[in-house]
Amino acid sequence: MRERGLLIVLSGPSGVGKGTVRKALFSQEDTNFEYSISATTRKPREGEVNGVDYFFKSREEFETMIKENKLLEWAEYVGNYYGTPIDYVEKTLSEGKDVFLEIEVQGALQVKNAFPEGLFIFLAPPSLSELKNRIVNRGTESEDLINNRMKVAKEEIDMMDAYDYVVENDKVEHACDRIKAIVTAEHCRRDRIAARYKRMLEVE
Ligand code: 5GP
């Protein structure tokens, strides 16, 4: 029996740079996981290609996919639907390949329910660690601004709870390196390896 691939989920707060990190990862030759192309009702941006960047759908088509259980997860984000077609994910994992999703946080929580064995990576803004300096240097920023930043930061930190790893997006190439290191480490986990060795012994 072939070992199933890993389901890797990269998510994080809006504006953190998930798309940029994902594009950088998939432009590197040594990235050996498969990108799951999402379906969306948003209009293509200049240069985006149907079936490469997204599967662009009408609202009716998307709602049919929801009804027919064709999506692993879906969410409405800034007035548009986004979702992960389930067939591709299932097929690719069963071929033993790792699948990579880059999705917003509501969708990631749904994947966590359906696939608790997935690898959940939270991309965090570097401003979270800069926050302390900003607070220390209080004199330079208004109290309202600091309070607002604190509130946003607290919400972002609370979101981390559902994830296995946190990668700070300080520099895109550093974030990519850490994500690849996490995937490599995950493949070396004792529980995954031991199961494979035990199966090998069963055959002999
Ligand atoms: P954009 O419109 O900028 O391409 O994407 C907007 C947001 O939708 C980003 O945060 C992106 O991660 C998220 N997104 C893209 N595909 C999916 C998906 O299949 N499911 C969910 N839940 N979010 C997605």
Identify the three-state secondary structure at position 102: strand
pLDDT digits 0-9 by tens, 138-193: 666 677 877 887 888 788 888 899 999 999 999 999 999 999 999 999 999 998 88
Q: Which atom of ligand 1 is nearest to the CA of 36?
A: 19
Sign (positive or negative) of CA dihedral 6, 12, 14, 17: negative
**CATH fit for domain 37-96, picks 3.30.2130.30, 3.90.580.10, 3.40.50.1820, 3.30.63.10:** 3.30.63.10
- Averaged pLDDT score across all residues of the chain: 91
Identify the three-state secondary structure at position 167: strand
| 71-77 β-sheet, strand order | 55-56, 39-40, 80-85, 71-77
Q: Is 18 annotated as a binding residue?
A: yes
How much is the pTM?
0.91
> What single-letter DSSP state applies at residue 5?
P
Q: Is 47 annotated as a binding residue?
A: no
pLDDT digits 0-9 by tens, 76-104: 999 999 999 999 999 999 999 999 999 99
Residue with tokens 């070396």: 188
Measured in angstroms, how far is the CA atom of residue 201 from the centroid of ligand 1? 43
pLDDT band at 203 (very low <50, low <70, confident <90, very high): low
Q: Is 9 annotated as a binding residue?
A: no
pLDDT band at 1 (very low <50, low <70, confident <90, very high): low
Pocket residue to mutate for ligand 1, from 104, 105, 106, most atoms within 8 A of Cβ? 104
